[in-house]
Amino acid sequence: MFDLAASDAMPRTTHRSSLIPALAQSPHFVAALRHAGQAPLLLDRLQDMVVLRRTICGLPCAMVNRADLVKPARLLEILQEEGLRRTPVILSPERPVPELARLGALPLMTPASVGTLAIHQNREDRRAGLEQKWRNRLSHAESQALRITRRNMPLSPDHWLLRADAAQQRRRRYRSWPVALTLAYAEANPGCAKLFEAFDDHERVAGILVLTHGEGATYHIAHSTERGKDLSAHNLLMWTAMDWLASKGIRQLDLGVINTEDAAGLARFKLGTGATVETLGGTWLFWPPLGRCLAPLASIDLNLMGA
């Protein structure tokens, strides 16, 4: 539900339509997983779709995250051919897939919404696409004596941004990437994990980490101190990152989940960039031995799953 202040421009909500693969389906992510000692399954018969292997409550599972399931029946057939005939499969498609219910998949979680920002190559177009309040905060930041730096993410598990992110996850009770995987991404994909930092004199007041993957990029980690918030440093860092991404030919920035209920401030910040809100396909469970039994239950929740 989008319940931001009435003065804020309401975003356009659509189903996910991008042709640029999400980070979780990129060769860069596969390289990071392998560097971290994991062994994802690549389905070359489905354009190298990435399948993760996990153990949940002691039960081996397969996971397909943020994939474009154009042929879901074929995917399930191939997974069974790959030796996963009796393995539970958790599917989180890039867009609603009504066919999953008919195939016997059971809905677990309703679709999340993500922010997708088109990176215009023309700087004036990028600036014009900003929401007015966001642009005002950017102008405020530009009037300060902030110093902005850009470098490859240091390969240190004790880096201040990683520590700040871990503390935030504990405080807000959610889980994101483990530190080891973030560092593996940076090491396995040289130059694709860019750290932008803002300094007020010698004081570090904000930072963001952006991961690039082909023509796409993902807003991965961010943190701002109270001083940084007063100076609107986060806006200037994002704007600087947008400029850099455009210079590298990046066409799209994935801003991650838009949660206007539990993280309204962050949602407002993301939407202020001019991002489009797009609906993913929810989370489904397909377990071959129970497929026929679950099909009637799955069809009941099709409306909730955006299908």
Alpha-carbon dihedral 181, 186, 192, 195, rounded to 10 degrees: 100
User: pTM here?
Assistant: 0.89
pLDDT at 14: 55
260: pLDDT confidence band, cut at 50, 70 and 90? confident
- The alpha-helical segments, DSSP class H, found in 173-263 are 179-188, 226-230, 233-247
Averaged pLDDT for residues 214-227: 97
- The alpha-helical segments, DSSP class H, found in the chain are 27-35, 72-79, 99-102, 123-128, 132-142, 160-172, 179-188, 226-230, 233-247, 264-272, 291-300
Among residues 73, 86, 68, which one has the least CA distance to residue 295?
73
289-306 pLDDT, tens digit each: 765 565 555 555 556 666
Which of 17-21, 239-243, 258-262 has the weakest average pLDDT? 17-21
Measured CA to CA in angstroms, residue 277 lies from 77, 112, 131, 212, 258 at distances of 32, 10, 14, 20, 8
The per-residue DSSP string of 253-281 comes to EEEEE--TTT-HHHHHHHHHTTPEEEE--
What domains are defined for the chain? 40-112+280-300 (no CATH), 114-279 (3.40.630.30)
244-254 pLDDT, tens digit each: 999 999 999 99
The tokens for 4 are 């931001």
More confident residue, 223 or 15: 223
More confident residue, 13 or 23: 23
More confident residue, 67 or 83: 67
Averaged pLDDT for residues 206-217: 98
- Rounded CA separation 91/84 (Å): 14
pLDDT at 6: 35
What is the DSSP-derived secondary structure letter of residue 302?
T
Averaged pLDDT for residues 266-285: 95
Percent of the chain with pLDDT over 70: 88
